[in-house]
Structure 1
């Protein structure tokens, strides 16, 4: 069980690292144009750190919901549908 959890954590961390680096590069290109290289570096590093730090929570949420006997599909449906127009006002 521990080996499976470690493998899952490593896999999610690797994908989060790739995503963070891609987002960091994209945002840094915009930052260089708008504010200069110093701001671009700070924004890129912030983007990478944010993605890497949010990864454990996103990975563990389905396991936590299963332990609480809550259907994960029901919870994801809350964020997948936009608000009706009457609720937006």
Structure 2
């Protein structure tokens, strides 16, 4: 089964920390979560169109910017196998 790639761009802010924690709690065994600091990964963030944090990319597509709620994460595919 293919892994769901979840990437999170953060800036060491409380909202970012809460978002990372929520994503990690929802992530299933088919989810691969990567966390990037925006300052250190500006080129990668630019390719995805990230202009605010926290930003969540699922399978190469920017799906959420700002602090999401649980329902938004589930609707974006976090915690679901492909």
Instruction: Give the structure-1-normalised TM-score.
Output: 0.27
Larger radius of gyration: 1
Higher strand share: 2
Q: Which structure has greater helix proportion?
A: 1
- Using the size of structure 2 for normalisation, the TM-score is 0.29
